[in-house]
Amino acid sequence: MDMLQGLLWIALPYSSIAILVMGLIWQYESQENYGDNKQVVCWKNACVSLLVIVALGTGVYSSFVLQTQLHAFEWLFNLVTLNPSLSLIEATPFLFKLHLLSLCSLFIFLPFTKYIKLLNSFFMNKRVDALPFIFLLFNL
């Protein structure tokens, strides 16, 4: 069970962020049209919409009702500083874990849909001057 927990709460977040970044780079360099197969496009859009609804619903419920902000922030901070801890995520309720799984799944699935163009438009408009300030916040 420890190996499964390690894969879910340590390896999956890192790999999902890596897939999201690679998808952003791929979309930036590619001019692929997403309207080729209507059934596949409809299925992808439905899956992404369902993942967004699940991630938002469980995130709002776990933040306001279950009060999991402290454990979530500590786990996320340890994840960003490359010092992940399984004990912090084991103390959180099931709904917050479902929120994290749906968010990681969304990050994995997003680069293969047309919704990646929303994130890519941020970089296409050359609005990356605020990015160094975001990285400075993580170093505090």
pLDDT digits (tens, 9 = 90+) for 97-126: 999 999 999 889 888 887 776 666 666 665
85 is in which domain, residue-wise? 2-26+35-138
Residue 119, pLDDT score: 64
Q: The pTM is what? A: 0.76
> What residues contact 101, with CB distance under 8 A and at least 6 apart?
8, 12
Model confidence at 68, in pLDDT bands (50, 70, 90)?
confident
Residues 62-72, mean pLDDT to the nearest whole number: 80
- Tell me if 19 sits within 8 A of 107, measured CB to CB: yes
pLDDT greater than 90 at residue 15: yes
Task: Give me the pLDDT at residue 59, please.
Answer: 85
Cβ 139 vs Cβ 80: under 8 Å: no
18 band by pLDDT with thresholds 50, 70 and 90: very high
- Give the count of domains, the chain: 1
With 50 as the cut, is the pLDDT of residue 31 above it?
yes
124: CB partners within 8 A, 6+ apart: 28
Q: Tell me what the mean pLDDT of segment 71-76 comes to.
A: 84
Mean per-residue pLDDT of the chain: 79
